[in-house]
Structure 1
Amino acid sequence: MTAERQLDVIIFGASGFTGKHTIYQGIKLLEGLKWGIAGRSKDKLTKVLTEVEKKADKDLSETPIIVADVKDPESLKKMAEQCKIVVNCCGPYRFFGEPVVKACVEAGTHHVDVSGEPQYMERMQLQYNEQAREKGVYIVSACGFDSIPADLGTVFLEKQFDGVVNSVETFLESSNKSKSTGGAVLHYGTWESAIYGLAHANELRELRSQLFQTRLPNFQPRLKDRPLVHKSKFVNNRWCLPFPGSDRSVVLRSQRFFYDNDKKRPVQMKAYMAFDSIFHVIAVALIGAIFALMTRTKLGRQLLLKYPRFFSVGFASHEGPTEEAMENTEFAISFKGEGWNKDEEMLEPSDQYKVPPNKKLKCKVSGTNPGYGATCVALLLSAITILKESDKMPFTGGVYPPGAAFYKTNLIEKLCENGFKFEVLKD
């Protein structure tokens, strides 16, 4: 990377919903760094700066504004050449992510984003990992919610385990303490990403066959799927469903990295979400089934995109959640880890244990405003970590999930200083 750059950080896609909230968090988190914003419309960028100024009561008139468009590769490269790291808030990444990654790699500039789209993330690793290493830059996706809590939560559990972890099950819970009821919890951009992610899920098998050309050993005991709908004592007898997000794919990519490069036995992982009542479970399952069926056809996708509020029963909208709703939303991911005591470690990561798992550990990662507050905090802290602790990151660069990228850094500690809580639970 060129030593002299005009800026440390550029927030790209800054006039969008996530970009606006990233600017707001950046006022505090990027203090001491030189940063600017970028997007395709100078007028929109100026307008969003004015909006954030009022909210934060902070003068942002001197903030550099760079005009760059995903449809103009030269403008993206010029943008990337002006900074050390691009914080990319412009999704859906399936359509708009690769041009920015390509520009960053060519310019020798680091890149982070908040993608929850496995196809995009794994394709970027397949196509740009070697180039990024050669250029000495880090490309890290899923630096928000999904999947920082799940991936770094698994890393945290392993560090606390004092033994060998065989499996981790995660249980996501959320609650809203807002006085107002109803209203969207997802912005349209997140809804759009979910639609196209599910519609093209069949691409993953071929992608993974190219990305990981050798299969992992068949580690025993296998972590089995729980019933589609089940009660779990682990989360106080709440009703649970499989979590459809990218957490599992992100965690397993990190674990594969640890196996391939650190010769560590990979953790098996399953992700679930928990609800207070069976009625919530039935409603979510029904909406999910309709959503999945509709994503299979072009007409179905068009309807989902045109009427997000109707087909999500009010959960998604073009306006997104209100400030009150976001600030009063709390999340917690509980981790159930099982494995073996340290005195029963194996010599090789592919060795099989002759005794069943004999040790358990429970952990939790929690915080507030997961979608657009904690997400933006985690995204910016990921960028700062790359700038300040790249010597603790793998190789000289590359394309990574957050667990693989940051497991030797102080990112977990920084997250805990800024609204997240990582803790070991007592039995």
Structure 2
Amino acid sequence: MAAAVTSSRPYHIIIFGASGFSGRFVLEEVARHAAGSPGGTPLKWAVAGRNRQRLEDVLKQAAERLSMPELRTDIEIIVADVSNEESLALMCQRGLVILNCVGPYRFYGEPVVKACVTYGAHYIDISGEPQFLERMQLEYHTKALDKGVYVIGSCGFDSIPADLGILHMQRQFKGTLTAVESFLKFNFGPEGSSGHDATWQSAVYGFADSGSLQQLRKKFGHKPLPVVGAKVKQRSFLFFSKEIEQYTIPFMGSDRSVVKRTQRFLYEEEQQSPVQYSPFVGVGGLLSVVKLFCGGLVFWFMVKFSLGRKLLTMFPSFFSFGMFTKSGPTMKQIEDGSFSMTFYGEGYSEGSDPTQGQPSAKICTQVIGADGYLVTASAMVQSAVTVLNELHSLPRRGGVYTPGAAFYKTSLIDRLSSHSMQFSVKN
């Protein structure tokens, strides 16, 4: 363990926000992992949040779902609130790793990061908000490094499949990988699916504040990453993808940001050739395209005004054509859902000169898994387990990192492959 985090703390893992929509899945995943842990020191964990009754209720529900009655009596509840620094301090002094499930992170994330860095607890979240993730790196990397604390954001779906998927491809490619396109496809059961309101809120406020992201990035003073080999080809905003047989658009989430930060780290710290990356997501058939176009115009207009943002967040189902709801998907929809992310890479085979001619080699890999909420829970928990067991393999002695930068020398891909995702090479 890092010097700032000692084994005298009573808990290995504390789930903050365990009664929230994503937090409930994380709680169940931690409970399963703890129950299935092999011999040795058992995994000790607790739940935290601002409402004791809700936490008691979620433990009761998990006990029934998992047939683990001991959850109702053996798991400690820690009352902590982002608006109360003292409560966060007490929480962070009791755990080795804090799993922060309280979003949107732009509003509620920084107090938890600050408390973790101050009181020596490693921090993991599942944020998909580039403004928050990059600002935490700018403001807390040096502080976390000095404290021997790791702050690792975006450890859920979809950034874990994207970021580690490219690491997997780089390891499998015999030569210099220079450019990658990924195609995300969702597979739903007969009842369809929907996203939760928290994801919708993150999108609303993220798009509304997109201008500040460019200003934030200027503060890093980064030089542009070198473009190795041929520049990645440009596609139109909407096109029919033969790769996934759906109409496809650029993916608007945090994947591009997360992957670029990882590639910068590998270039600067490991002298690895950086990869150009373009993520895409399938939207379905023509009817879905029409809905997307109409909804996108309304969304683009309304996020510009405070009243519009208020209406968007008050009525997510109406403005998203049912794609996002305050209740989120049902358990049946989650259990029936899955995803695939297919990566098409090109580069230069061993012995070829990347500065000369067109790419000479191609590769196709894939990451497949269960529904995004289940994958998020598994990825977050396995990230925490990796921090606990493989701290010596993480970079430097602390800091703020992406999943790929933090875990590129660890067994996280193998851990995930034995749980919720499969990483493979396609012929």
TM-score range, shorter chain: over 0.9
Asked if the contact 2:229/2:359 (under 8 Å) is kept, the reply is no
Cα 1:172/1:285, change in 2 over 3 Å: farther
Give the CA deviation at 1:212: 4.0
Give the CA deviation at 1:231: 2.1
CA distance in structure 2 between the partners assigned to 1:390 and 1:225 by the alignment: 40
Matched residue, 2:374: 373
Asked if the contact 2:175/2:349 (under 8 Å) is kept, the reply is yes
- Taking the TM superposition and a 5 Å limit, the aligned residue runs for 1:215-254 are 215-235=224-244, 237-254=245-262
Question: Structure 1 counterpart of 2:363, which letter?
Answer: L
TM-score by length of 1: 0.94
Give the CA deviation at 1:276: 4.1
Matched residue, 1:12: 16
CA distance in structure 2 between the partners assigned to 1:285 and 1:242 by the alignment: 14
Which 5+ residue runs of structure 2 have no aligned equivalent? 36-41
Give the CA deviation at 1:220: 4.2
Give the CA deviation at 1:185: 1.2
Matched residue, 2:360: 358
Matched residue, 1:348: none
- Taking the TM superposition and a 5 Å limit, the aligned residue runs for 1:23-422 are 23-31=27-35, 32-59=42-69, 60=71, 61-178=73-190, 180-181=191-192, 185-235=194-244, 237-344=245-352, 353-370=355-372, 372-422=373-423
Asked if the contact 1:115/1:146 (under 8 Å) is kept, the reply is no
TM-align CA RMSD: 1.4
Asked if the contact 1:136/1:396 (under 8 Å) is kept, the reply is yes
1:339-389 CA distance string (max 9 Å, x none): 0012126xxxxxx6112111000000011111x111111001001111111
Q: What SS class does the counterpart of residue 234 from structure 1 fall into?
A: coil
TM-score by length of 2: 0.94
CA distance in structure 1 between the partners assigned to 2:323 and 2:226 by the alignment: 41
1:33-80 CA distance string (max 9 Å, x none): 000000011111111111111111112121011011100111101100
Which stretch shows the higher mean deviation, 293-302 or 375-384? 293-302
Give the CA deviation at 1:407: 1.0
Q: What SS class does the counterpart of residue 425 from structure 2 fall into?
A: strand
CA distance in structure 1 between the partners assigned to 2:395 and 2:9 by the alignment: 24
Which stretch shows the higher mean deviation, 80-89 or 214-223? 214-223
Q: What SS class does the counterpart of residue 343 from structure 1 fall into?
A: coil
CA distance in structure 1 between the partners assigned to 2:77 and 2:277 by the alignment: 42
Asked if the contact 1:225/1:270 (under 8 Å) is kept, the reply is no
1:230-255 CA distance string (max 9 Å, x none): 123333x4321111111111111100
Question: Structure 2 counterpart of 1:40, which letter?
Answer: R
Asked if the contact 1:381/1:411 (under 8 Å) is kept, the reply is yes
CA distance in structure 2 between the partners assigned to 1:282 and 1:219 by the alignment: 38
Give the CA deviation at 1:219: 4.0
Question: Structure 2 counterpart of 1:267, which letter?
Answer: V
Asked if the contact 2:227/2:276 (under 8 Å) is kept, the reply is no
1:171-212 CA distance string (max 9 Å, x none): 00011123x35xx51111111111111111111111111124
Question: Structure 1 counterpart of 2:360, which letter?
Answer: N
Question: Structure 2 counterpart of 1:373, which letter?
Answer: L
Question: Structure 2 counterpart of 1:45, which letter?
Answer: L
Asked if the contact 1:11/1:23 (under 8 Å) is kept, the reply is yes
Cα 1:187/1:128, change in 2 over 3 Å: same
Report sequence identity in percent. Answer: 41
Asked if the contact 1:241/1:281 (under 8 Å) is kept, the reply is no
Asked if the contact 2:227/2:274 (under 8 Å) is kept, the reply is no
Which stretch shows the higher mean deviation, 27-36 or 410-419? 27-36
Asked if the contact 1:255/1:266 (under 8 Å) is kept, the reply is yes
Give the CA deviation at 1:217: 3.0
1:267-324 CA distance string (max 9 Å, x none): 0001111244233223223323322221111111001011111001112111111000
Q: What SS class does the counterpart of residue 5 from structure 1 fall into?
A: coil
Q: What SS class does the counterpart of residue 344 from structure 1 fall into?
A: coil
CA distance in structure 2 between the partners assigned to 1:379 and 1:96 by the alignment: 18
Give the CA deviation at 1:129: 0.4
Question: Structure 2 counterpart of 1:355, which letter?
Answer: G
